[in-house]
Amino acid sequence: MRPADIFTAFILAMLAASASAATQSYYGEAEDLVTGKLLYREYHTVEYGGGIPVKRTVDYKNPQGELIAEKINIYADNPLTPSFNLIEPDTGYREALSMMGDQLQMILQQPGEPVQRDRLTLPDDLLVVDAGFDELIRSHWETLVAGDDLTFYFASVARFDLIRFRVERVNNSDQGKVVIRMQLASRLLAWLLDPIQLEYDAESRRLLSYRGLTNIRSASGDNYIASITYFYP
């Protein structure tokens, strides 16, 4: 192939890659469920390739604009199971997860304590990791909208465990929104954790709000329970 032909092929490949890649940025405001007080803001940047997520970065900032946590998701073959690394710069608290063949490698760093590591074998059933939950809803949209429920395992680094959940659509009067409820799959144990509720735009399928336990810790070390509203450009 002539040099000119090689250069032309390179340019065409670059243009094709640019056409299939995109970046979406949005943010959310987390408020206390009782007082409505602003707890923190989360700033998302998602990179896409060929219409599927490739990388997500999230900066979490307190009401004064100071960084309190940061997270990176790297998506591979399955958008439901991205690897992730969450860290609090000030305290050193860290949660991380990566796929290692047929196992999940988990890392937990508590402030002032030795690093803890564990590996779990992948379940035979559907598995979701971190932000992969949002992709789960969209990939099973028609099933959930039709009123059928869905069960899956969620990987919890804080517990070094796989927790089984059930998601289902909730009837609501606003036809422009689809409300999804997530709770423990066992009806006998469901009372241990309040359901998480999510609202999606019925047309764009964008996440509009989240209500429930979050992955951000308060000064006391407990995870916030909050209502998060998302804003898009």
Evaluate whether 125 touches 185 at the Cβ level (below 8 Å). no
Q: Which tokens hold the place of 10?
A: 């390179």
3-state secondary structure (DSSP) of residue 210: strand
Q: What is the pLDDT of residue 128?
A: 97
Q: 131 in helix, strand or coil? A: coil
Confidence of residue 19 (pLDDT cuts 50, 70, 90): very low
Distances (CA, A) of 145 to 83, 93, 199: 28, 38, 12
- Burial of 198 from C-beta contacts in 10 A (0-12 / 13-18 / 19+): buried
Number of H helices and E strands in the chain, helices first, is: 3, 15
The pLDDT, as a whole number, for residue 21 is 55
With 50 as the cut, is the pLDDT of residue 117 above it?
yes
Write the single-letter amino acid at 115: V
Residue 23: per-residue pLDDT: 95
pLDDT of 3 > 50? The answer is no
> Which of helix, strand or coil describes residue 171?
coil
pLDDT of residue 187: 60
For residue range 168-198, list pLDDT tens digits in order: 999 887 889 999 999 999 765 554 678 999 9
pLDDT at 7: 32
SS3 4: helix
Tokens of 74: 């790297």
